[in-house]
């Protein structure tokens, strides 16, 4: 299927704005994608017509809002092929979802236990596990990468022993674009009886994800990277594990009965959804999933891969450019530096020319240390980006490089 990119772009009014008297070229999609009008209009409509707290009232608005939230839960279940909607928990984002698992499932960890992470993890998949070390002498082992940015699978295999209790790693690197062989990595962990969390924040906008085919125990991702609203995340958890985990937070909605002599907790998934959720944006997230499915996830990936190859070929022609992450089949992310020029300076000057890229360590400081650099410039693509925008980016970068 050939995508009509012009029609797709018409759904994103922000792409028509100017920055620095130049048309915006938005290449910061790994940080957050833009949102189509169908989602924005739905949010406005919900606020104007259906705003009422969910699961709390017998009146019509509350029932309607509840139905819309639970519709999204079912849509997410189908999108990732979970076994049931009880395995789909709404959070504020990927970060909270990982913290939930680290706090709740990690409650069972003890002195001497070991956890396996990788050097390419986002801080959100490092710090929550380090926080557990405040209470127990837990050891974190780290899988290294090769020069292409691929994980060392032999080292990964070698790290498992009788003390290993958990493994957690990214499906796709937010810096390198590497698509990790997560199905194989999960199978290795399970052969040792070790459960696995997969950080799918950078995978779900670009790849078809089937949690049952992967056989993962936990999978986490965010709406705002999937053309959806901010402040909405998803934790998928294997039901047999979720049922053994204590609540992450206490309050309304996550209880069956409260009294001062003791409290009993709600069934899944509500046990992990304390307080009033962002029910408006959760409901609107369904519209973002509609957009992705109408466009076709394979069509999205094919378009982004074509842009990645086209832009990379032009980028490497610029003198002194060094690209970080060259694994085959990588996602549509290019992290690079130009000679000794600071990444911040490049990003700032590109912005003056209307090009939005990300600069810095990308919440992946251990990876930057491994690469021996303070940070990179990162350009990342979405389905609405075009070859024309890639050319505008390259032309702007050539101008910036010439200044130094």
Residue 376 bridge partners (DSSP): 360
Helices (H) and strands (E) in the chain, counts: 14, 17
Question: Residue 243, Cβ neighbours under 10 Å: how many?
Answer: 12
Coil, helix or strand for 166? strand
Catalytic residue among 363, 366, 370, 386: 363
Counting every residue, how long is the chain?
A: 404
Q: Count the neighbouring beta carbons within 10 Å of the beta carbon of residue 18.
A: 9
What is the token pair recorded at 111?
A: 């002195």
Per the CB < 8 A criterion, the answer to whether 367 and 119 are in contact is yes
CB burial class (10 A; 0-12, 13-18, 19+) of residue 153? Answer: middle
> What phi and psi, each to the nearest 5 degrees, are found at residue 376?
-140, 170
Whole-angstrom Cα distance, residue 171 to residue 257?
Answer: 39
Could you confirm whether 259 is annotated as catalytic? no
- What dihedral angle (degrees, nearest 10) is formed by the CA atoms of 392, 326, 346, 93? 90
DSSP 23-74: E-EE-BTTT-----HHHHHHHHHHHHH----TTS-SSHHHHHHHHHHHHHHH
8 A C-beta contact, residue 87 and residue 210: no
| DSSP assignment string, 373-387 | SS-EEEEE--TT--H
Cβ proximity of 338 and 354 under 8 Å: no
Task: State both tokens at 42.
Answer: 């739905």
Q: Which residues are catalytic?
A: 363
């Amino acid at each position: 299927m050939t995508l009509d990119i012009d029609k797709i772009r018409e759904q994103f009014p922000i792409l028509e704005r100017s920055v620095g008297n130049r048309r915006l070229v938005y290449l910061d999609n790994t940080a957050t994608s833009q949102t189509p009008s169908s989602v924005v209009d739905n949010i406005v409509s919900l606020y104007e017509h259906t705003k009422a707290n969910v699961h709390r009232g017998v009146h019509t608005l509350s029932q309607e809002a509840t139905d819309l939230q639970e519709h999204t839960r079912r849509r997410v279940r189908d999108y990732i092929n979970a076994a049931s909607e009880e395995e789909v928990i709404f959070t504020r984002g990927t970060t909270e979802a990982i913290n939930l698992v680290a706090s709740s499932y990690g409650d069972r960890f003890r002195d001497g236990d070991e956890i396996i992470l990788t050097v390419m993890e986002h801080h959100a998949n490092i710090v929550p596990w380090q926080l557990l070390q405040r209470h127990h002498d837990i050891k974190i082992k780290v899988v290294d990468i090769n020069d292409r940015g691929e994980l060392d699978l032999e080292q990964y295999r070698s790290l498992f022993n009788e003390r290993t209790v958990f493994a957690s790693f990214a499906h796709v690197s937010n810096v390198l674009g590497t698509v990790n062989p997560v199905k194989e990595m999960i199978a290795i962990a399970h052969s040792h009886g070790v459960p696995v969390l997969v950080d799918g924040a950078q995978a779900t906008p670009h790849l078809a994800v089937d949690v049952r085919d992967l056989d993962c125990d936990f999978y986490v991702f965010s709406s705002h990277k999937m053309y959806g609203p901010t402040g909405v995340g998803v934790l998928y958890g294997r039901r047999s594990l979720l049922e053994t985990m204590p609540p992450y937070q206490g309050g309304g909605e996550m209880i069956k009965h409260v009294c001062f002599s003791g409290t009993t907790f709600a069934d899944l998934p509500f046990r992990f959804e304390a307080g009033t959720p962002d029910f408006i944006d959760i409901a609107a997230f369904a519209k973002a999933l509609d957009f992705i499915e109408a466009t076709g996830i394979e069509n999205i990936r094919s378009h982004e891969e074509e842009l990645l190859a086209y832009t990379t070929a032009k980028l490497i022609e610029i003198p002194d450019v060094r690209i970080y992450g060259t694994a085959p089949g990588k996602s549509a992310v290019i992290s690079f530096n130009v000679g000794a020029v600071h990444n911040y300076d490049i990003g700032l000057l590109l912005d003056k020319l209307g090009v939005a890229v990300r600069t810095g360590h990308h919440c992946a400081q251990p990876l930057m240390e491994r690469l021996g650099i303070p940070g990179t410039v990162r350009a990342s693509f979405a389905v609405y980006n075009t070859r024309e925008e890639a050319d505008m980016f390259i032309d702007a970068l050539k101008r910036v490089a010439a200044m130094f």
